[in-house]
Structure 1
């Protein structure tokens, strides 16, 4: 009997334009330098198409394939034609790693770090989301003193926080 697999995860959340992708681009090398294998998930509410009209893989999907895998010498991508899966389902399709950092899936990620910049002019998520453990910001005075804040420019401290506060999701 096989045991369910566990996967360490943490969310990276924040409003559009707050700097989540910039932080992710700094965190990944910092975590990799510590010897960790790290994968990411980016969830969006926008409808996008990573394929190009006229390409064979696009034609396969348009003709009705349930899945289309595109394989190149240095990467591969598997496209599913189905309703949006749950976070647990998506994680179950990924290879096991030391940590998965998830951008998006706000309602279903168990623990998250919010990137907040008041100058973006949007309300912070920490006011309404209970899964936010800390706020990374360049303006700590904009965050209530009862909230743990991290310096958004201190990648090392944020990496340490993530390592200490990631949580485990049981996969089927």
Structure 2
């Protein structure tokens, strides 16, 4: 069991540091009153580009992975549940991933995954009861909100009060 993944989004330096300490250049950051957008290339075998919105008020990070051929062709959004905040005094944003994830495939209900990881992390003392409870409440709010609005992207935008623009215009 690994500890919660932590990332740094250094807007002034135009870098993104992942939980293993790898620092990657960022093509674009855009700060809004409701969150931070990031677009960067990826050196991953399954995807070549990553777009993310950190949405602190929702406890979510919405991602679009631009997959290489043959990998997760139907997935639109991948939502990480956790704590996201910024900017700090140096202009950096911070993310702590609380294990739960939601997968959006158009035409199907939003899917909650990695529930076992949340329970294992709590049992291992890597998450407090309060954090595990908050993670569950965030996931339930996303599931019910997306179901009520008929689409997770619509629910995200209505809830934060602004548009989540992506590279491809969706």
User: Aligning the two structures, in what range does the TM-score lie when normalised by the shorter sequence?
Assistant: under 0.3
Q: Which has the higher strand share?
A: 2
TM-score between both structures, scaled by the size of structure 2 = 0.27
TM-score between both structures, scaled by the size of structure 1 = 0.27
